[in-house]
Amino acid sequence: MVRISATSIQRKFCGVPGVELLMLSPEISCQEWLIAYFTSLECILQAFAPAEMKSTFQETKLAWSFYFLNETLINETFQSIGMALALGFVVLSLVSGNVIMAAYAVFTILMIVTDVIAFTVLVGYKLGILEAVNYVVVIGLSIDYCVHMSEAFTEAPIA
């Protein structure tokens, strides 16, 4: 069995230093490392591809993976916000015994979440992983605040 190292494949077929880049060095950034790594991977795959497949490789510079991540984040973030509001309404209705107070609390939670999302858009942030986590944390904090306020309102004596 003949063992061919990736470095010899790189030097023979591509001339792109790939294996040396597996350890991050201070001279290159992480993005440059990823681009060089996937470029070298493309060269290795084309070197061993059948003749009719050598010229067919899709080059996107990692765009597809980020597109899929962003699409999933957008869909699941807003689905989780909707599910949290619906579940919050059910729990608040059962705990407080007052459907009107639960509706006011869920509306207040919705307005808080809308305010935070609008602020992030106005500042210019794009929906990423940290923003999605922040939206979920905002839902939790606003539910906690609204539960305590609605409980205090329903338990307060009539003045």
Query: Tens of pLDDT along the chain (159 residues)?
Result: 334 344 444 444 444 444 444 444 556 666 676 777 777 777 777 777 777 766 665 656 666 666 777 778 888 888 989 999 999 999 989 988 889 999 999 999 999 999 999 999 899 888 778 888 888 899 889 988 888 888 888 888 875
Q: Give me Rg for the CA atoms of the chain.
A: 27
d(CA 117, CA 123): 10
* DSSP label of 68: H
Contact at 8 Å (CB) between 134 and 116? yes
73, two tokens: 């984040």
Q: For residue 29, what pLDDT is reported?
A: 66
Q: What is the pTM of this model?
A: 0.57
Contact at 8 Å (CB) between 77 and 132? yes
Q: How far does CA 97 lie from the centroid of its chain?
A: 37
One-letter identity of residue 117: I
Q: For residue 146, what pLDDT is reported?
A: 87
Q: For residue 95, what pLDDT is reported?
A: 84
Q: For residue 7, what pLDDT is reported?
A: 44
d(CA 44, CA 38): 10
Nearest to 19 by CA among 36, 32, 31, 3: 36
120, two tokens: 């992030």
Contact at 8 Å (CB) between 126 and 100? no
Q: For residue 16, what pLDDT is reported?
A: 43
d(CA 122, CA 126): 10
Q: For residue 15, what pLDDT is reported?
A: 46
Q: For residue 99, what pLDDT is reported?
A: 92
- Start-to-end CA distance of the chain, whole Å, equals 90
* DSSP label of 16: -
